[in-house]
């Protein structure tokens, strides 16, 4: 084998293949081959993952997972299912919000059994700065995951009315 090795990277991009070639010394070539062997992957795929991770870390890689821009927040809120009584609502915190959804944090503990409401809508009630009345959002659960001593809940807003849309728009500016 040569001391320099040409590797090609093929990646699907909007239905088109893209090839990239580069020279790699023996050390890099052996490291790539070893990693590919250990993970039972092709060298091309290992290179693609390295490049993808690099761009993600450097925020140069634009993944369009969200339809709406999120804004970090720290609003106290109340959380429950659509049929929860006022006394049974859970204190929570909105971590970020967009026109399409919210991410809410609740402390871990027995107070809120997320499994009971996974197939239902949840209600998030909170106040916005410079807004005269409480905002009540009906949301569909998207994600639930543990984060240290909290549970984070990602939820998509279901059919907000015009006043809620305007309030969120003012909040997002």
* Prediction pTM value: 0.58
C-alpha distances in Å from residue 82, one per residue of 6, 64, 74: 59, 30, 23
More confident residue, 112 or 96: 96
pLDDT digits (tens, 9 = 90+) for 115-149: 555 557 889 999 887 778 888 889 988 888 888 88
For residue 81, give the nearest of 151, 145, 126, 140 by alpha carbon.
140
> Is 141 in contact with 155 (CB distance < 8 Å)?
yes
DSSP 89: P
Using 50, 70 and 90 to split pLDDT, how confident is the model at 169?
Answer: confident
pLDDT at 51 over 80: yes
Q: What is the mean pLDDT of residues 1-17?
A: 42
Would you tell me how many other CB atoms lie within 10 Å of the CB of residue 43?
Answer: 18
3-class SS string, 9-69? EEEEECCEEEEEEEEECHHHHHHHHHHHHHHCCCHHHHHHHHHHHHHHHCCCCCCCCCCCC
CA separation for the pair 116, 127 (Å, rounded): 26
pLDDT digits (tens, 9 = 90+) for 56-95: 777 665 555 666 778 888 889 998 887 777 777 888 999 9
Asked whether residue 34 carries a pLDDT value surpassing 90, the answer given is: yes
Domain 71-172 maps to which CATH number in 3.90.45.10, 3.30.70.2740, 2.40.10.220, 3.90.870.10? Answer: 2.40.10.220
Which pLDDT belongs to residue 118? 57
**So where are the chain's domains?**
5-57, 71-172
């Amino acid at each position: 084998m040569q001391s320099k090795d040409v590797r090609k990277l093929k990646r699907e991009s909007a239905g088109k293949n893209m090839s990239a070639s580069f020279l790699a010394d023996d050390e890099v070539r052996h490291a790539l081959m070893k990693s590919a062997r250990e993970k039972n992957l092709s060298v091309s795929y290992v290179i693609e993952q390295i490049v993808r991770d690099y761009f993600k870390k450097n925020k140069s890689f634009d993944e369009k997972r969200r339809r709406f821009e999120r804004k970090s927040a720290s609003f106290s809120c109340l959380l429950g299912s659509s049929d929860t009584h006022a006394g049974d609502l859970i204190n929570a915190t909105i971590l970020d919000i967009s026109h399409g959804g919210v991410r809410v944090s609740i402390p871990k503990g027995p107070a809120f059994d997320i499994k009971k409401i996974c197939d239902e809508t949840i209600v998030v009630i909170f106040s916005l700065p410079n807004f005269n009345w409480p905002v009540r959002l009906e949301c569909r659960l998207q994600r639930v995951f543990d984060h240290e001593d909290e549970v984070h809940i990602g939820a998509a807003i279901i059919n907000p009315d015009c006043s809620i849309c305007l309030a969120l728009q003012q909040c997002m500016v």
